[in-house]
Amino acid sequence: PIGAAMQGFGDELSAVAERFRQQRQQQDAFDAEVIGRELNGQIAQAENEAIRNAPADGRGLHDRMYGQVDPRTGQVIKSGLFDTLFDGTLPKVPESERANFIRKKEALRLAGSARMAAQQYARRQDYEQAEWSKAQDSYTSAIAQSDPDDTAAFEAIRQSGFDFIAKMGSPVARQAAETAWRSNTAKALAKAMIAKDPGRSVELLGAKPAAKATIGAINGETTGAEGDTDLSAKNPNSPTSGDYRLADPRPDDKAALARLAGASVAQN
């Protein structure tokens, strides 16, 4: 009877121990989940700070955060802040859950790496567009203030712009910049012509002098005029006569330039 009682007591202790093990395992899994969520919050905060403190062109943003991984072997060849955060969090994870926690590391890196790569690319595109806008303003200002009869100087400036655009990284951005550059250089040249010789610019732009006109902005705004003002306004899609360098403005810009030329002749 004593042996049977002891055996029953041992079975009960084993059941209690198994229930305790299962409860502890569940608690460890829960704690590991909480720690993982805390790590995700730290990673998100670190990414935001990295983006905020990155240079204007985004250089190095991805590698500082997620390092570099050999695509052939999957081995980390350069660690980043992500590795520091993960390795610092690992000792807090219950021992029974550490192996599973470690297995999630590269999946976290892969997702974060894609986010940072996209951020770096976007930052670079914004930087290139901003720098090109500054260069374009400088170039078109030089054309507008130059001698419009100096074709060689005009072509040199225009080619400098095309050379600059060719170095931009995005094919889509390059194409858009080239189209706008052709139009903007032609507009700047037309301004120089109007300033130097309004009468000649009227002929080149296909305009007629306005009896009364109000000089308006060139970029898409409408200039008021009375009477028969200009030919371009009536047929903005007609080709510009005379100077081939004036062939690229958009129809609405060409019409506005023609009105400005006509108004300049009327005032003079």
Total Cβ atoms within 10 A of residue 254: 28
User: Following CA atoms 10, 14, 15, 21 in sequence, which dihedral angle do they give, to the nearest 10 degrees?
Assistant: 160
Contact 174, 199 (CB under 8 A): no
Total Cβ atoms within 10 A of residue 63: 16
Is the pLDDT at 208 greater than 90? The verdict is: no
Task: Name the residue with higher pLDDT: 163 or 240.
Answer: 163
Is the pLDDT at 113 greater than 80? The verdict is: yes
Task: Name the residue with higher pLDDT: 189 or 227.
Answer: 189
Give the residue-averaged pLDDT of 62-88.
92
pLDDT of residue 73: 86
pLDDT of residue 139: 96
Q: Where are the alpha helices (DSSP H) in the chain?
A: 2-53, 61-66, 81-89, 98-103, 105-144, 151-166, 171-196, 198-205, 231-234, 251-267
pLDDT of residue 164: 96
Is the pLDDT at 217 greater than 60? The verdict is: no
Question: Would you place residue 10 in the very low, low, confident or very high pLDDT band (cuts 50, 70, 90)?
Answer: low
Of 114, 128, 103, give the one whose Cα is nearest residue 47: 114
Give the residue-averaged pLDDT of 24-38.
94
Mean pLDDT for all residues in the chain: 80
Domain boundaries, the chain: 2-124, 145-267
Q: Where are the alpha helices (DSSP H) in 67-104?
A: 81-89, 98-103
Q: pLDDT tens across 165-186, in order?
A: 999 999 999 999 999 999 899 8
pLDDT of residue 216: 40
Residue 63 φ then ψ, to 5°:
-65, -35
Give the residue-averaged pLDDT of 157-171.
95
Question: Would you place residue 203 in the very low, low, confident or very high pLDDT band (cuts 50, 70, 90)?
Answer: low
d(CA 89, CA 10): 40
